[in-house]
Amino acid sequence: MRIRIVDAFTDRPFSGNPAGVLLLDSFPEDAWLQSVAAEVNLSETAFAHPLPAGGEADWALRWFTPTTEVDMCGHATLATAHVLHTTGAATGTVRFAARCGVLGATAEADGTITMDFPTSPLTPVAVPDGLEKALGAEIVAVHDTGAHIGDLLVELRDETAVRSLAPDFAALKTMSSRGTIATAAAERPDGGYDFVSRGFFPAVGIDEDPVTGSAHTALAPYWSARFGRDDLTGLQGGARTGLVRTRLRGDRTLLGGRAVTVVEGELHA
């Protein structure tokens, strides 16, 4: 079977966030899916298979980190939609049936793919004991992001504080069910993005994820409320970065980005 590695939320190879993508006829046993994801050893590997015509979705979609299955993943969904459109397996809008519900992905004329995800609910919470020490930075505010992504959204004082983080991953592992999203407003209003973020997910086997689409279902409502605008652009990452365009639509968040296939080959398993 064909296996591909796609860099998502970027228009050039070796940037953005890489994801493995396998298109299947059906889902094999979970243990096999997990073994493939561990072998690929990227933050997520996406597995998809076509569904019968006439239903609420066109493809079934699942995502696995090297250690576990997750409820929601943006960059691997973008990577899957990119593969479907570039191989001719799909046109227009593709509907995916996933653990978090039905997700849409629409290919635009300029190559951008716009995804339709549920907006994550934000609940203010007290700063957990040890979180500032684990991050190594002063915290402005903390929000819980709900069940599907299970992260703590942590605002820091400025962009420099986010960029310079060097967390204690062992300590962060116990802070939330999935991860910690550190964020701040962009320092330069003319820099091409409105806010920055970095995502740390040691609890699911990923110390740092370069560009986390699902995190932007929480970042979008957070910063849209702050800036008073529904359309924003986020820059995520440390050494490797990518841009995510967000559009808040009430209980849905649109995530836009581009992708490029960098590896294609045969899986012998």
Residue 167 C-alpha from the chain's centroid:
20
The DSSP call for residue 57 is -
Residue 71: half-sphere exposure toward Cβ, Cα within 13 Å: 14
Q: What is the total residue count of the chain?
A: 269
Residue 240, C-beta contacts closer than 8 angstroms, at least 6 positions apart: 15, 16, 17, 210, 211
Rounded alpha-carbon distances, angstroms, from residue 158 to 168, 208, 245, 249: 20, 19, 20, 27
User: What are the backbone angles phi and psi of residue 132, rounded to the nearest 5°?
Assistant: -60, -40
Q: Is the Cβ–Cβ distance between 196 and 221 less than 8 Å?
A: no
Active site residues: 44
Return d(Cα 109, Cα 23) in angstroms, integer.
24
Pairing of strands 2-8, 17-23: antiparallel
Tokens of 230: 């529904």
Q: Is the Cβ–Cβ distance between 113 and 7 less than 8 Å?
A: no
**Closest by CA position to 240, among listed 202, 211, 269, 205:** 211
CA torsion through residues 239, 141, 120, 134, sign: positive
